[in-house]
Amino acid sequence: MLQPLRKTLSFARMIWEFIESDFVTFAVPNSAFGIFGAFASTKLICNDLSTIPSALDILKRLPLVLAFNVGNLLVFDLANQRSPQSVVEDRINKPWRPIPRGKITCDQTRRLMLVVVPITLALNYYLGAWNQGIAIHILTWLYNDLGGGDEVFVRELIIAIAYGFFNSGSLTIAVGPECSLSALGITWTIIVSGVILTTMQVQDLKDQKGDKTRKRRTIALFLGEKVSRTSIAFFVCFWSCVCEYFWNIEPLAYSVTAVAAAVVILRVLFIRSPKGDARTWRLWCLWHASLYTLPVLTSNF
């Protein structure tokens, strides 16, 4: 009786270890985009007022939004961590992951994907985010199996587009099947993808040693760390101003985002160590997630 339970818990723990490093920094912010966007639904969706979801309806859909993000994130992480090059990198940057620790082999991970991919596709269809889900799977293939994640600029572009589909899928699920994104909602999704495109490289600063081992061409390694850090600081400031202008936020309401942006800028310019860069990356996640609250803080649209 206890043995099957132990095996089930051990398997669940291993699945968690595949997505652990991306859950708080990826799945949670993307879910927040959908939920906060749904609370500002009169701005971001187009439909008659009778179909606008209530706050209770939105909160009830939170587990579904999270399931969409976790399911598709798991597919990405399984594909991302199963290649021999990724295992070499993870032994340096993330040795706690399941494959470097010997919990599962690369071939067993491939076989696991044969089960997880169809399940995730069925989940996307059930949740009404089929189009976004298909696009995410294609981008996962481009990034991992075709090596797009190792090409400078291509890597950032794929990630930015993927964020757009994760975010629009989250918002679609959060508001329900009767609603669709408005022009403003699409524009906001594109702006956030621009944020990701130009600042996501902050995550590469902490992983330079492992990236160099697998010859991954990140901006930090291709153009140099100084250029990378300067561009991150510039674009964090730039997008903070753009988003404040776009939503016309009052200074007091914008203070949390402004402070988070200032902290990221100062840290990325003056704190240079793998441990310090890892913390800066987490603070960057907090900053860009704080942008998702802005539609709720304005009443000018």
Q: Is residue 220 part of a domain?
A: yes
Query: Residue 1 has what pLDDT?
Result: 60
Q: Is residue 1 part of a domain?
A: no
How many Cα atoms within 13 Å fall on the side-chain side of residue 128? Answer: 15
Residue 285 is part of which domain span?
17-297
Q: Is residue 59 part of a domain?
A: yes
Q: Is residue 219 part of a domain?
A: yes
175-196, pLDDT tens digit by residue? Answer: 887 777 888 888 999 999 999 9
4-16, pLDDT tens digit by residue? Answer: 788 888 899 999 9
Q: Is residue 9 part of a domain?
A: no
Rank 80-84, 220-224, 234-238 by mean pLDDT and report only the highest. Answer: 234-238
- The total number of structural domains in the chain stands at 1
At 165 the three-state DSSP class reads helix
110-137, pLDDT tens digit by residue? Answer: 999 999 999 999 999 999 999 999 999 9
DSSP 8-state code for residue 53: P
Closest CA to 217 of 169, 158, 150, 283: 150
Predicted confidence (pLDDT) at residue 49 exceeds the cutoff of 60: no
* Cα→Cα distances 59→6, 31, 213, 294, Å: 33, 11, 44, 18
Q: Is residue 4 part of a domain?
A: no
- CB contact set of 99 (below 8 Å; sequence gap of 6+): 81, 82, 86, 87, 90, 105, 106, 109
Q: Is residue 10 part of a domain?
A: no
The token duo for 26 is 């990826």
| Distance (Å, whole) CA 201 – CA 157 | 11
Q: Is residue 3 part of a domain?
A: no
| Distance (Å, whole) CA 284 – CA 301 | 27
Query: Residue 138 has what pLDDT?
Result: 96
72-114, pLDDT tens digit by residue? Answer: 999 999 999 998 888 988 888 888 899 999 999 999 999 999 9
Token pair 């990701």 is found at 196
